[in-house]
Amino acid sequence: MSPDLGRGEADVLRLALELPADEAVVILDDAKARAAAGRLGLRFIGTLGVLLNAKRVGLIAAVTPHL
């Protein structure tokens, strides 16, 4: 694992590597963690991707900033 990763990101990647490749998708927003996931051959998505997918399948009505 990259020494640049935080403990949480490193733990998520380690756990994902224990799962069958077709079952593991990790949610990562940190650029270094996403790069590491790509090098390890893991599928990943960011928070925005999760929200856009939720909207696409009708789980939420809109993706808008809410302050």
- Residue 1's contacts (CB-CB under 8 Å, 6 or more residues apart) are 10, 13, 14, 36
Cα separation, 16 vs 11, in Å, equals: 9
Residue 64's closest CA among 38, 17, 55, 21? 55
The pLDDT of residue 7 is above 90: yes
* DSSP percent split of the chain into helix, strand, coil, nearest 5: 45, 10, 45
Note whether 36 and 2 are within 8 A (CB).
yes
Global confidence as pTM = 0.80
The pLDDT of residue 35 is above 90: yes
Domain ranges of the chain: 7-56
Q: What is the pLDDT of residues 46-65, one digit of tens each?
A: 999 999 999 999 999 999 88
Which pLDDT value is given to residue 22? 85
